Amino acid sequence: MTLLKVEGLNKVFGQHYALSGVGLEVKPGEVHALVGENGAGKSTFIKIMTGVYTLDAGTIQWKGAKVDIPDPVASRRLGINVVHQDRHLVPSFTGYENLFLGLDYPANQARIGVNWKAMKQQAEKLRNDLGVDIDLNKTADRMFPPEKTMLEILRAMMLECQLLILDEPTASLTDQEAEKLFALIKRLTEQGTAILYVSHRMDEIFRLSDRITVFRNGQRVATVNTSETDKDGLVRLMSNAEVKKSQKRTGISATEENVLELKGLSTKDGKVKEVSLSVRKGEIVGIFGLAGAGRTELLETIYGLREPAGGSIQLAGRRVAAPTPKRSLENGVVLIPEERKRDALILGMSIRENMTLPVLKRFSGLLKLRSRAERTEVNAWMQEMNVKAAGSEQMIGQLSGGNQQKVVFAKALLSNPVLFLCDEPTQAVDVMTREEIHRLLKAQADKGCGVLFVSSDLQEVLDISDRLYVLHDSHFVAELDNDGVTSEQVLGYCYSHGKGSEHHG
Amino acid sequence: MVEARAGIPYVRLIRTYGTVAAGILIILAFSLLSPDSFATIDNAINISRQISFLVIIALGATLVMAVGEFDLSVGAVASFGGVFAAQMAVSGYPIWLTFLAPMAAAFIIGFVNGWIVTRFRVLSFITTLAMGTILGGINFRLTGGATVFENIPDGFRYLGQSEWMGIPVLSFIMLFVTLIFWYVMSHMPFGRKLYAIGGNESASRVAGVRVAFNKNMAFALCAMLAALTGILMASRLGSAHPTGGDGLFLSAYAAAFLGMTSFKEGVPNIWGTFVGAAIIGILANGLTILEVPTFMQDVITGCIVIAAVLMQKLGRGKS
């Protein structure tokens, strides 16, 4: 008997298929692992199962009957629950109160207030049944990460839960803490609850799961029995089957001086640990890492948005003690942020006002802004960058994602950059713009700039970079000369450094 | 810019100039109802003097609103400026110093407001509310709770009470301050940065704008203008009361919110605030002439602010 059977699932965002023709079966009591690169469609799949997104095509069968999941309530009513990577607890509530979030509190005799005693009994019974050892009187903000994870799982089990989706549940846990989680998973499956286990961590997947489904580019590549495959086989399935070897840009001499050099750079929160790297003049250096590996944080630290706690940053051989965005821009360091709308654009302002914000000084006369000079310069850049808009006074929020990104790049170029820090610069832009951005970065590198390029799209990193670093759990695990590197090799580095090599402080 | 924007043109026109149009309608209505008292040159000059305090204090509030914060201490700072200046005048300090010293003190107070907000990420609501309470206490300490009015030199009253060419000096000061801050906000990098911070703080930081410093400056200038308002009031009345400026606080924000509905859609702006303050002042003047009781005036003013804000939402579509 199958618990969940999904067939022909499609989900389209704009013109992009996040999922196409996906099918999946989950049996009661099994641990079914779901793996794939970033952007393979795992999250979208989870969101459809939990009613956050609606599907565009396909059918969902639950215990043999066709069902719709229009909203999260419907999903919970069926018996599907999810524990997300990031916590969804009310910090000031106790464990008990968090358990009953969104549920009917047991009423007291007067039918007005809450029957706290019944509530506690109900929660304690569940806690005992599942053998979870946490103090539910504590408020969530005083709990440790594993306790929070357990609490969330308990909450998922408050209603009769037959399919529990765990999305990277061990992301913030140490080895011993993870053990407790695995014991709980075992108990749940013995009760007949099925687990859909999403993780990047190979050893966990092989230890826990019965079957593994691999997603790639929004499609299901395969579902295999865990006992019949191994790590290498799985990595091969996740990366592109047709092996495309990378090709190096020609004409870069390795003797060029460094634009950027990091030595043992760390941050206080441990999002960046002991990172050393160099970017030479005219070089495009790629950084690849799975989500949460600390890519954005690394760029932010170099740019001055995060405080470094150790190590050094050198720009063109000169040490920068405390970088700030302002100082970085003055030194010719520009950041193309990952979250364009949040960190790069002021949506209520015009293209002109957005573009010149970092370099207003250049356009200020004695007292006032020289608006004619400003306009001329902005128009020239709009033409240069081929920005499609009604004019420099158009509100930036009205442009397409691709054109917005071109403005972001023009804004960066206005600062006469010597070092580009690009965080997912081609995210949510059309193919044409993506090509243009690649061409632009290569042209800038040819002119002697250094480029540090972060992308979740491994193929893109391999396409554009001269050298690349593999980032895993906040530190580099490999540095590769991008000459004949395959995506399989790179993914191998990401996955071979699983739980065993980690030390949490 | 107008051509590029999607949407129904007349809806947009109402949203951008609706408040101005409403102001003109109000003037017309009063002129019809009371042609002999309201629609006279003398009354127009009178109104320009009456609104000068509100305009100046509301301009300060506008600066802080432009960076996406609130300063609830403007009323208390105005009272502070008034009693501080009056006390100094009574003590015989030179007149220019009685104006500049309280403004400088207020500038520092405002900067501290901003510093607490930006450095410790305390909500500006709470910070400035507390600062207003502190100042309320200081104002009473400075005056012993009484109105300062004895021995105020004539020189101190000059700016508040005299006229140039038949027009009150206060009206000139109001116009001058408005022009200065219009220029600052529209034509100087500082103004652009304030709007950028209000538009998107995070993106402004990435663009190298010193967010904390510029916010602090907005708070500082706001407090300085509030103190100026209080000083001018004291000069006008020839006396200063420890809570004399407190009542301006709500009207100042009413004016600034009305202002957000004109010229620049949903963005606090200098001329918008000027128009907003003018509408509130004209309403008060006209309704008084028509002998409408004060409580009704408040009700009407409140309703007009709500109506203006609702009108601006009109046709804006979702979110």
Predicted pLDDT at A452: 95
Distance from CA of A353 to the nearest CA of B (A): 8
**pLDDT at residue A482 tops 50:** yes
* Cβ-based contacts under 8 A for chains A and B: 89
Q: What is the pLDDT of residue A351?
A: 94
User: Is the CB of A357 less than 8 angstroms away from the CB of B207?
Assistant: yes
Domain range summary for chain B, segments of one domain joined by +: 9-313
pLDDT at A240: 61
8 Å CB contact between B246 and B227: no
Which residue in chain B is spatially nearest to A414 when comparing CA positions? B207
Taking alpha carbons only, the member of A114, A91, A93 closest to residue A104 is: A114
CA-derived radius of gyration, chain A: 25
Residue A469 has pLDDT above 80, yes or no: yes
Query: What is the arithmetic mean of pLDDT over A351-362?
Result: 92
| Residues, chain A | 505
Q: Whole-angstrom Cα distance, residue A457 to residue A37?
A: 9
Kindly report the pTM of this predicted structure.
Answer: 0.79
Residue A89: pLDDT over 60: yes
- Count each helix (H run) and each strand (E run) in chain A, helices first: 17, 20
User: How far is B209 from chain A, CA to nearest CA, in Å?
Assistant: 7
Nearest to A23 by CA among A38, A4, A39: A4
Residue A161 scores a pLDDT above 50? yes
What topology is assigned to B9-313 in CATH? ABC transporter involved in vitamin B12 uptake, BtuC (1.10.3470)
Q: Match 């910070």 to its residue by tokens.
A: B127
Average the pLDDT over A230-257 and give the result: 67
Looking at per-residue confidence, does A286 or B145 come out higher? A286
Residues of chain B where predicted confidence (pLDDT) is lower than 70: 1-12, 314-319
* pLDDT computed for residue B316 by the predictor: 55
Q: What is the pLDDT of residue B9?
A: 64
Neighbour tally for A244: CB within 10 Å? 12
Please indicate if any CB of chain A lies within 8 Å of the CB of B249: no
Q: What is the DSSP string of A235-259?
A: HHHHS-SS-----PPSS--TTSPEE
> By the 8 A CB rule, do B169 and B176 touch?
no
pLDDT tens per residue across span A177-205: 788 889 889 988 998 899 999 987 788 89
Contacts of B206 (CB under 8 A, 6+ apart): A303, A305, A325, A335, A337, A343, A344
Query: Chain B residue closest to A398 (CA)?
Result: B5
Contacts of A417 (CB under 8 A, 6+ apart): A332, A333, A334, A444, A449
Q: Cα(A444)–Cα(A253) distance, rounded to whole angstroms? A: 15
- Count Cα atoms within 13 angstroms, Cβ side, for A119: 21
How do residues A368-401 score in pLDDT, each as one tens digit? 778 888 999 999 999 998 888 888 999 898 887 8
Interface of B with A in 166-195 (CB under 8 A): 183, 187-189, 192-193, 195
The string of DSSP codes covering chain B is -TTTS-S-HHHHHHHHHHHHHHHHHHHHHHHHH-TTTTSSHHHHHHHHHHHHHHHHHHHHHHHHHHTT---TTHHHHHHHHHHHHHHHHHTT--HHHHHHHHHHHHHHHHHHHHHHHHHH---HHHHHHHHHHHHHHHHHHHHTTS-B-TT--HHHHHHHH-EETTEEHHHHHHHHHHHHHHHHHHHSHHHHHHHHHHH-HHHHHHTT--HHHHHHHHHHHHHHHHHHHHHHHHHHHT-B-TTTTTTHHHHHHHHHHHHHTSSSTTS--HHHHHHHHHHHHHHHHHHHHTT--HHHHHHHHHHHHHHHHHHHHTT----
| B203 contacts A346? CB cut-off 8 A | yes
pLDDT(A36) > 50 = yes
Q: What is the pLDDT of residue A254?
A: 56
Q: Would you call B2 an interface residue with chain A, using a CB distance cutoff of 8 Å?
A: no
Interface ipTM: 0.83
Of A335, A371, A395, the CB nearest to B206: A335
CA dihedral for A36, A41, A44, A50, sign (positive or negative): negative
Contact A345/B203, CB-based, under 8 Å? yes
The C-alpha of B181 sits at a distance from chain A's nearest C-alpha, in angstroms, of: 12
Please tell me which residue of chain A has the smallest CA distance to B210.
Answer: A326
State the average pLDDT over residues A92-103: 86
Long-range contacts of A117-120 (CB under 8 A, 24+ apart): A120/A96
A503: pLDDT confidence band, cut at 50, 70 and 90? Answer: very low
Lateral strand order in the sheet of A467-472: A333-336, A419-423, A450-454, A284-289, A467-472, A475-481
pLDDT digits (tens, 9 = 90+) for A3-26: 999 999 998 876 677 888 999 999
CB B51 within 8 A of CB B236: no
Which residue segments constitute the domains of chain A, with CATH numbers given? 4-238 (3.40.50.300), 257-332+417-498 (3.40.50.300), 347-416 (no CATH)
Two tokens, residue B138? 């200081």
Query: Residue B231 CA to chain centroid, in angstroms?
Result: 14
What are the tens digits of pLDDT across the range B43-61? 999 999 999 999 999 999 9
- What residue ranges in A27-171 does DSSP mark as E strands? 31-35, 57-62, 65-67, 80-83, 163-167
Q: To probe the interface with A, which of B206, B265, B319 has the most A CB atoms within 10 Å?
A: B206
Give mean pLDDT, residues A313-322: 90
